[in-house]
Homo-oligomer: A and B are copies of this chain.
Amino acid sequence: MRRAQLKLFQNLIGRLSAYDLRPAQFSALAIIEQHPGLMQADLAKALAIEPPQVVPLLNKLEERALAVRVRCKPDKRSYGIFLSKTGEALLKELKQIAAQSDQESTSALDSQERDELLRLLRKVYQA
């Protein structure tokens, strides 16, 4: 399991490096898209990382104008996190890159096996 995961990860890291992004940053963009306006604590939980790690990650995304922090009206301690138009466009491109990466890393499998692998993996980690 570890070796297969490392193989997939290395391939993805290589492809994302052309965008100066890490897998966690790509995941963050995808999560923000699915939950626009979420708070940093929620993003940490969704990424399975600790809140302090979200800070530099989001800073980087904000520097590059891919995402924005918006002060919440009711609770001025927290932010709502949103994708910018640039972020949305880039994410769309990145999803294709990631799909190509998965495809290449699992080129030894036929499409039925790939589906089955995904099904089994989900079953394991969702349990």
Q: Which residues of A line the B interface, CB within 8 A?
A: 1-9, 23, 48, 105-109, 113, 116-117, 120-121, 123-127
Pick the contact of A109 from B4, B8, B120 — CB < 8 Å? B120
CB <8 Å contact, A125 and B48? no
CB <8 Å contact, B9 and A2? yes
What B residues does A2 contact at CB under 8 A?
A: 5, 8-9, 23
What B residues does A127 contact at CB under 8 A?
A: 107-108
What B residues does A105 contact at CB under 8 A?
A: 124
Q: In the bound complex, how far is the Cα of B3 from the Cα of A123, in angstroms?
A: 11
The minimal Cβ–Cβ distance linking A66 to chain B, given in whole angstroms, is: 22
CB <8 Å contact, A125 and B9? no
